């Protein structure tokens, strides 16, 4: 075939060669950028808090279509979308519990309902693995609708577990009380307070506390029986009061958000399972 064609001029040959080079350049550029997309997989071990009902991290990254519909339905804007530098996958939703935790003021885990791909799901498909300690023993009872006919949240797995990561700074353990705005006057986070408004969340700053012994995490917790103040023994044998997390904890992060110490004494460990 080639001998029937007129040989290309030098100039033409050079043009063709340059074109091939440019094609390779664009290929490399786009694929190079695409590799940055894999950072979240590399970071997948570093856990981050996803919205309620999220699949395990790898499956979550596979199925999330990055549309932000979960962001749109959240009444307290707890869900944010990750940016390039976050390394969570551009456009995937996450919760920064310290800034704004999920307090279930939507009553029904609306973000799961909004998800079009099943990244957030009520019922995990059978073929997907279940993390050890992730399944909840029973459907969690939402204190806000405890008296309703259907008081539970449709959640089968927890997204994390609260842990007293800094017991040394916990006010309850120190036997201290707390009076005032939990996170200061400038804090923008919101919570639903049943005694204020059944439906409308208000700013935490607009709801000052007065506790003889600090128990803000217990007061704010939206889940029945997830946390309580118990008498514990310190290593030196002395009796202390301390917040203790129980099995119903779903990992919503309200305790981390409300904790008045800086940094928070109690934190959510994302993706963590329950250990008795």
Partner 1 sequence: MNKVLKRRFLEQILVMFGREPKKPAVQSERAVRMHELKRMTNKAGLQAAQDAHRAHQEHSHKWRNRRWATLLFANLLFVVSFYFDIQVLEGALTASRFVGFHLIDLNSALQVMLAHKHIINNLLIGTGTVLVLWVLLGGRTFCSWVCPYHLLAEITERLHLTLVKKKLVTDQTIDRRLRSVFWVIFAVLAIATGYTVFEAISPTGIVSRALIYGPGLAMLWVLALLVFEIFFSRRAWCRYACPIGLTYGVVGIISPLRVKYTLEGCFHEGDCRKVCLVPHVLDTVIKGRAVDTEVPIGPDCTRCGLCVDTCPTGSLKFEVKGLAKLL
Among 43, 47, 90, 229, binds partner 1 (CB under 8 A): 90
The token pair that represents 247 in the structure block: 């099995």
Q: Which of residues 92-131 bind partner 1 (CB under 8 A)?
A: 114-118, 121, 125, 127-128
Q: Strands (DSSP E) along 22-177, which ranges?
A: 79-81, 93-95, 160-164
| Nearest alpha-carbon partner for 50 in 176, 135, 157 | 157
- 79 touches 110 (CB < 8 A): no
Residue carrying structure tokens 């029986």: 225
Rank residues 183 and 192 by Cβ distance to partner 1 and give the closer one. 192
Give the separation between CA 180 and CA 210, rounded to whole angstroms.
Answer: 6
Under rule CB under 8 A, residue 244 binds partner 1 = no
b/e per residue 170-193 (b: at least 16 CB within 10 A): bbbbbeeebeebbbeeebebbbbb
Cβ neighbour number for residue 156 with a 10 Å cutoff: 16
Among 6, 31, 138, 276, binds partner 1 (CB under 8 A): 31
- Nearest approach, Cβ of 175 to partner 1 (angstroms)? 44
- Nearest approach, Cβ of 17 to partner 1 (angstroms)? 12
Among 85, 132, 137, 149, binds partner 1 (CB under 8 A): 85
Binding residues for partner 1, rule CB under 8 A, total: 47
Rank residues 128 and 213 by Cβ distance to partner 1 and give the closer one. 128
Binding site for partner 1 (CB under 8 A): 18-20, 22-23, 26-27, 29-31, 33-34, 36-38, 40-41, 58-59, 61-69, 71-73, 81, 83-85, 89-91, 114-118, 121, 125, 127-128
């Amino acid at each position: 075939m080639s001998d029937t064609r007129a040989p290309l001029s030098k100039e033409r040959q050079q043009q063709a060669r340059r074109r091939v080079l440019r094609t390779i350049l664009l290929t490399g550029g786009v694929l190079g950028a695409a590799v940055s997309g894999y950072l979240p997989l590399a970071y997948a071990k570093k856990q981050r808090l996803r919205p309620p009902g999220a699949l395990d991290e790898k499956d979550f990254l596979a199925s999330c279509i990055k549309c932000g519909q979960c962001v749109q339905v959240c009444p307290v804007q707890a869900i944010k979308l990750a940016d390039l530098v976050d390394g969570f996958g551009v456009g995937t939703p996450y919760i920064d519990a310290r800034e704004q935790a999920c307090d279930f003021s939507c009553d029904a885990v609306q973000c799961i309902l909004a998800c079009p791909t099943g990244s957030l799901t009520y019922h995990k498909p059978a073929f997907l693995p279940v993390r050890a300690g992730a399944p909840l023993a029973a459907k969690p009872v939402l204190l806000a609708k405890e008296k309703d006919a259907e008081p539970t949240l449709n959640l089968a797995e927890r997204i994390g577990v609260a842990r007293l990561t800094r017991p040394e700074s916990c006010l309850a353990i120190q036997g201290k009380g707390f009076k005032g705005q939990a996170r200061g006057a400038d804090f923008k986070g919101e919570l639903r307070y049943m005694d204020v408004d059944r439906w409308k969340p208000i700013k935490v700053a607009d709801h000052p506390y007065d506790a003889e012994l600090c128990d803000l995490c217990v007061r704010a917790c939206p889940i029945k029986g997830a946390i309580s103040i118990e008498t514990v023994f310190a290593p030196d044998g002395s009796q202390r009061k301390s917040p203790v997390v129980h099995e119903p904890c779903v990992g919503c992060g309200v305790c981390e958000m409300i904790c008045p110490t800086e940094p928070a004494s109690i934190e959510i460990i994302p993706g963590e399972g329950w250990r008795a």
